[in-house]
Amino acid sequence: MSFEIIFVEPAGGTYQSLETAAKKAYENRLKKKEKKTSRQEGLFKQVHKTIGFLAENPKHPSLNTHEYDSIKNPYDDSKKVFEAYAQNRTPGAYRVFWCYGPGKNEITIIAITPHP
């Protein structure tokens, strides 16, 4: 089953800023003729991959998806919010917070943020 991904603010803005930073870093890398990808490129690739996994299978093992209590569901306070790992075993590892809805076969990305 495939899900449609919906972004709410601030998640949409965060995703766009990560993408913009990755594109800028990629262009700079090409100008300098460097081969190694930058941190910004890697971070965006990981977040983008995480969102792709969520769209295909929110229970994918690499996401380490689990319930998260500190953020409220934007549609219904009685519904759950989940945390998925974009990175693991790295300082300030990025997480994607999400919930099901508002419609059937939809997932809403609530926040994309580094782990405290």
pLDDT bracket for residue 7 (50, 70, 90): very high
Q: What percentage of the chain reaches a pLDDT higher than 90?
A: 93
Phi, psi angles (nearest 5°) of residue 36: -75, 130
- Per-domain residue ranges of the chain: 4-114
Rg, the chain, Cα only: 15
Q: Which two tokens stand for residue 107?
A: 């997932």
Q: How many residues does the chain have?
A: 116
Span 21-49, average pLDDT: 95
Nearest partner of 55 among 113, 108, 4, 114, judged by Cα: 4
Do 71 and 97 touch, CB atoms closer than 8 A? yes
The pLDDT, as a whole number, for residue 97 is: 97
What confidence score (pLDDT) does residue 1 get?
Answer: 72
Of 56, 67, 61, nearest in space to 88 by CA: 61
Question: Looking at domain 4-114, what is its CATH homologous superfamily?
Answer: RelE-like (3.30.2310.20)
Query: Tokens standing for 99?
Result: 């919930």
Mean pLDDT for all residues in the chain? 95
Q: Helix (H, G, I), strand (E, B), or coil: what is residue 7?
A: strand
- 115 confidence band (pLDDT: 50, 70, 90): confident
Query: Would you say residue 116 has pLDDT above 80?
Result: no
pLDDT tens digit string along 58-113? Answer: 999 999 999 999 999 999 999 999 999 999 988 899 999 999 999 999 999 999 99
- Please state, in angstroms and rounded to a whole number, the distance separating the CA atoms of residues 42 and 63: 17
pTM of the model: 0.93
